Amino acid sequence: MTGSLPSDIGNLPDLNSFSLEDNLFSGVIPVSLGQPQLNIFRISRNRFAGKIPPQINPSKIRNFAADPSNL
């Protein structure tokens, strides 16, 4: 899959797992993904740019994976 993520992709009331590994997504990571109930956040092997928003706190996510070279 390719393209950028819509800014409201995280506006799902029960979002607790977000995994988009091994795609060609690009652009920035939407702030809306910083949900307090998020337990899994995996975005490795994509083409995201910029920084991970502070609302997505890796220390509070049980299963976190991102490519540091692209962020």
Q: What is the pLDDT of residues 15-41, one digit of tens each?
A: 999 999 999 999 999 999 999 999 999
- List the chain domain ranges: 2-70
38 close to 14: Cβ distance less than 8 angstroms: no
Dump the DSSP string for 15-63. Answer: --EEE--SSEEEEPPPGGG--TT--EEE--SSEE-S---TTS-GGG-SE
Q: In what order do the strands lie in the sheet with 17-19?
A: 17-19, 40-42, 63-65
This prediction has a pTM of 0.89
Q: What CATH code would you report for 2-70? A: 3.80.10.10
